[in-house]
Amino acid sequence: MRGSGLQYAAMSEQGMRQRNEDAYFAGEVAGYHVFAVADGLGGHAHGDLASRMAIAALEEAVGGGLQEAKPATVLERAFQRANSAVYTYNQDNDLNAATTLSVAIVSDSGRCWIGTVGDSRTYVITPSSIWHTRDQSYVQELVDAGVISPAGAITHPKRNVLTRALGLAADLPVDIDERDTAGAVLVMSTDGLHDYVPERTIWDIATTRDPGEACRELTIAAKNALSTDNITVIVVRRP
């Protein structure tokens, strides 16, 4: 797909799971480009519903909000609305549905505001560097403390244990980052991809393929690495 000044593609596959609990959004809203990936938590009731609810609440929040407020403010409000929707559903139905959510709002100039809860990621990749959002997970805390290396985190048996997710509490802290994506490729993924595909491979595919081809090759790379999870990826670049 092509937006004003951007090319992007998205792909989501069930993989080896019985159903796809991932959800995503990619499109233009009020003069901005908005991209998001959500991963309903395995082991929690209705993870697929939680991820879809979060994406729907996000769309509603940014649809009106970006016309009247700054992107960072809209991003925070969108996460709170998404969290409230899932949390209220849980309270009304005595459930513990939950989801991750990573959202990027991109201006025409390339300025990008990124919100993160959980371990779905947004990458900003240039020909010489790769940066990604910080996972809110038990294993990331071990990396931060120097107990294990980033490479060791990929194979750690508790790599899927999150310290934060949407829907489980009324209050939700959100990590907000602001980056310049001019001249960069934006990649967003659920952990079914980045828990299995090495960072160097993500960098190589993202910087040498068009968005549609990059999505396909990254998905294939995750499958070849024997990913056992749903796989969702969005790739965004300027032509």
Question: Which residues of the chain register pLDDT less than 70?
Answer: 1-4, 42-43, 151-154, 157-159
Give the pLDDT confidence score for residue 5 in this predicted structure.
74
- pLDDT tens track for 116-144: 999 999 999 999 999 999 998 777 777 77
CATH number of the domain enclosing 111: 3.60.40.10
CB under 8 Å to 51, separation ≥6 — which residues? 21, 22, 23, 38, 39, 40, 99, 100
Tell me whether residue 7 is in a domain.
yes
CA distance 8 to 239: 10
pTM: 0.91
Measured over the CA atoms of residue 83, residue 87, residue 90 and residue 95, the dihedral's sign is positive
Burial class (CB in 10 A: 0-12, 13-18, 19+), 171: exposed
* Cα angle value 168/63/239 (rounded, 5°): 105
Per DSSP, 148 falls in state: S
Does residue 147 sit within a domain? no
Note whether residue 51 is domain-resident. Answer: yes
Residue 26 lies in a domain: yes
Measured CA angle at 198 (ends 211, 105), to 5 deg: 45
Q: Let me know if residue 53 belongs to a domain.
A: yes
Handedness of CA 202, 179, 120, 12 (dihedral sign): negative
User: Residue 110 gets which letter from DSSP?
Assistant: S
Look at the block and give the residue holding tokens 């309270």: 91
In a domain, 152, yes or no: no
Does residue 142 fall inside a structural domain?
no
Q: Which residues, including other chains, have CB under 8 Å from residue 36's CB and lie 6 or more apart?
A: 24, 25, 26, 55, 58, 101, 102, 103, 104, 188
Q: Which of 26, 9, 2, 7 has the alpha carbon at shortest distance from 218?
A: 9
How many domains is the chain built from? 1
pLDDT of residue 106: 96
pLDDT tens-digit series, residues 19-29 = 899 999 999 99
Strand partners of residue 47:
none
Residue 153 lies in a domain: no
The C-alpha R_g of the chain, in whole angstroms, comes to 17
Beta carbons within 8 Å of 186's beta carbon, 6+ residues apart: 35, 104, 106, 112, 122, 123, 124, 125, 234, 235, 236, 237
pLDDT for res 12: 97
Mean residue pLDDT across the chain:
90
How far is 37 from 24, CA to CA, in rounded Å? 4
- Which residues span the domain enclosing 133? 2-137+163-237
Please give the Cα distance from 212 to 51 (Å, whole number).
23
